[in-house]
Structure 1
């Protein structure tokens, strides 16, 4: 039994997953942040921690395993206990236990468990598809010295320093501004005249087209028989997410790829981060969706996850 897979599945939806007689894996949300020194953007995420004091069975993990493996609840509890006993024996021997997508466990000199979380996965579903990235530093150049050098060779300038010694330049600048304003005004007037003319011509063409349509008579002597199409409507609130894409064309391409593999793939809209979400399929039954998710993670995409959402 791959206990870490079941723990990982539950961490997407719960903030605390207790492994009976062993400890609890906890998550707490951390907001997005920017490292101004690097500079690097870090998306919001759930940070993992481990509490060895929380060992009382709350039934969450055992019930989940019982549903997935189709076994009685007590059998699931026994399997967890057996797996925990094996992990403890390895820890006592000084070995490091690596739980995939969760982290590493090791026994310290005082006999307590130290936990180092994995940074390869983000259990915050709202941030699915977001990853950290670094931006290049913006370099701002100052051109004042270059401009001053050019002004020495150019006879006409309108910089503040030169205007004091050459007052006639002030009037030249005012005249230039007046000519520019007049040019803009004339251009706008001419453009408005063209727009008005185009609108009138378009309205006249629409009136003529309406008149011809009203005069036309359509007679269908041999109408074709009505065709009935059977369209399967995809329903369900349990969606197996294949990915989220910032460019919609990429999401369309992903849907076609999944359909070619036999999945009932589709787009389910845009999430709060502006990403187009694509799902393998949707299910009305939770257990059926979990079984399908397990199969997809094993054969197709280990990063697939289950989204519970009622769509309009």
Structure 2
């Protein structure tokens, strides 16, 4: 099993992919940038990092492997564990682990894992098709020198004598100022008149509408009963699974037990193996779901896991 292939697939869609009992690969969005030295433009991208502290299984990677390879969830968990054990053995032998399209892992002197991300792939789907490019330097100073040379040959200036010989320009400017001010005042006056007209018309329309509504109220003899529409609030795609049962009655019993303990438990249907799945709760936010999962695993059920699934 090529574990890095599955991790790479998930990094396009998620910001955090946890490898149980090993660590988590995290992505962070970086804006487009310009290298002023090389005059190169770089598109926005996701930078990749590794956190050895995040090792709790959130079910994301195992569920994806189970879905792709058509195997049970527990089988996928076992495959991940074997792969992690193999990787750790190579790291202990001071070997570098090369994960294709992700980066290199190596054990430092302190016994911690150092990660060097791969830079030839961009996991930001918004930047698909964009690639770095280099442009020629803009030579503004050269053009400036050319313009200054032209100005020396053909000087352009307005002397006081020339300004005195054209007094009509001064009066034209004053007239333009008065016209602009007058137009502004007239525009404001016209705008206020329009607003007043609209307000009066709106009030008259409202009075006519109220009269018609009152008239219609007296004409209706047998009004229809009021209808109440209940819209179910979206509960999210992150579900903390408590168990799956072959017999539906057992799943109903489990739901009631969890509700008695204060959980928002419910059934979310049958999985592809024909088992009725029961969840502690469902969440719209992934971080919130992970925090709830950790609390449940530490206090209620160590075998609880996170299912990422959009319900119909």
> TM-score scaled by structure 1?
0.48
> TM-score scaled by structure 2?
0.48
Larger Rg: 2
